[in-house]
Amino acid sequence: MKPGQESQTAVWVCMGRAVADGARWAGGFSDPTALALLPERAQRRVAQFRAGEIARGVRPRVERYLLDRRAKVMVARSVAIDEAVRAAASPQLVILGAGLDGRAWRMPELRDTVVFEVDHPDSQREKRARSAPLTPRARDVRFVPVNFERDHLDDALAAAGHDPAQATTWIWEGVVMYLAQADIEATLAVVQRRSAHASRLIVVYHSPALVLRLVGLAVARLGEPLRSSFTADAMRALLARYGFAVVRDQATPAIGAALSPEVARATRGIKHVRIATADRT
pLDDT in tens, 160-181: 999 999 999 999 998 999 899 9
The 3-state DSSP class for residue 280 equals strand
What are the chain's domains? 79-280 (3.40.50.150)
Q: How far is 137 from 139, CA to CA, in rounded Å?
A: 7
pLDDT score for 220: 59
Pick out the chain residues at pLDDT < 50: none
**pTM confidence score:** 0.93
Q: How far is 195 from 164, CA to CA, in rounded Å?
A: 6
Which ranges constitute the DSSP H helices of the chain? 8-20, 34-37, 40-50, 58-88, 103-106, 121-131, 153-159, 181-193, 211-220, 232-241, 252-257, 261-267
How far is residue 206 CA from its own chain's centroid?
Answer: 13
pLDDT score for 201: 98
Question: Which amino acid type is present at position 277?
Answer: T
Q: How far is 268 from 116, CA to CA, in rounded Å?
A: 33
pLDDT score for 172: 97
Number of H helices, E strands in the chain: 12, 7
Nearest to 200 by CA among 248, 159, 153: 248
C-alpha pair distances (Å), 66 with each of 19, 69, 106, 198, 229 = 12, 5, 25, 39, 23
